[in-house]
Amino acid sequence: MQGESPWGGLPDKEPLSADEHNQSPPEPVSISTGFAPMNQGTMLTGTAEMPTGQYIFLQPPSSAAKVMGIILILFGLLSALGLVGIFLEPVDPITGEPIEYPAVAKALDGLSSLVGAVGFVTAGVFLTRYEKRGVWLGIGTLGAQFVLGVASFASGTPDGGLGSLVGSDGTAFAIWTGISAFCNGICALIVAIPLMVSNNGLE
């Protein structure tokens, strides 16, 4: 007597027909074309790709121009105080006697102070707005003050006893001109700092 399987009532597995063997697998679809309905026999294949291109990270402009603009505004206000000095009589600090101050030299000194006040304040305002012309205006103001200062010194502006110290007015003029040119050159380099800074934001 042959033993019967407890699952004997189940029908045996039927072999696959030729049509089922020849049936092609479901056609793959790329993710990039969209989502496929789940009730269809479609298999999703493919990889997600990042868009190609160059990434540029923008940084805020340097604050050097704005800082220099504020410094120039303050320097211009200090230059305006020079207008008050032309109304005061210069006095020798040692003897206390009045010093001769020619009218031409006094007018040139007043003009130099006025040019400095207007030029530096305007240049400072331009730089606080990140405008490149503020740098050139500041350097031009320094140049104008240098020329006016040399003309004023040649016209008889009191030299603070420098001529008596060196024993010659010509030597005193050369020394004063050299020192003034050096100081104005250093100031021009300082004013030009915003141009030397990377990402200065100047327009």
pLDDT band at 190 (very low <50, low <70, confident <90, very high): very high
Residue 108 domain-assigned (yes or no):
yes
pLDDT band at 4 (very low <50, low <70, confident <90, very high): low
The amino acid that residue 146 corresponds to is F
DSSP letter for 91, please.
B
Residue 133 domain-assigned (yes or no):
yes
pLDDT band at 67 (very low <50, low <70, confident <90, very high): very high
Contacts of residue 116, defined as CB under 8 A and 6 or more positions apart, other chains included, come to 75, 76, 79, 80, 82, 141, 145
CA distance 36 to 61: 49
Is the model's pLDDT at 36 over the cut of 70? Answer: no
Residue 37 domain-assigned (yes or no):
no
Residue 23 domain-assigned (yes or no):
no
> Which residue carries 């024993």 as its tokens?
167
Q: Is 9 exposed, middle or buried (0-12, 13-18, 19+ CB in 10 A)?
A: exposed
Q: For 144-159, what is the mean pLDDT? A: 88
Closest CA to 164 of 115, 95, 114: 95
Residue 39 domain-assigned (yes or no):
no
- Per the prediction, the chain carries an average pLDDT of 77
Is the model's pLDDT at 153 over the cut of 50? Answer: yes
- Alpha-helical segments (H) within the chain: 18-21, 64-80, 82-85, 103-128, 133-154, 162-166, 169-191, 193-196
Backbone angles phi, psi at 109, to 5 degrees: -65, -40
CB 127 within 8 A of CB 72: yes
pTM of the model: 0.66
Q: Which residue range is the domain that position 174 belongs to?
A: 64-196
Q: For 38-64, what is the mean pLDDT? A: 59
pLDDT for position 199? 78
Classify strands 29-30 and 44-45 as parallel, antiparallel or unpaired: parallel
pLDDT band at 77 (very low <50, low <70, confident <90, very high): very high
Residue 6 domain-assigned (yes or no):
no
pLDDT for position 52? 56
Is the model's pLDDT at 39 over the cut of 90? Answer: no
CA distance 188 to 115: 16
pLDDT band at 125 (very low <50, low <70, confident <90, very high): very high
Among 14-18, 120-124, 160-164, the range scoring the smallest mean pLDDT is 14-18
Residue 13 domain-assigned (yes or no):
no
pLDDT band at 157 (very low <50, low <70, confident <90, very high): confident
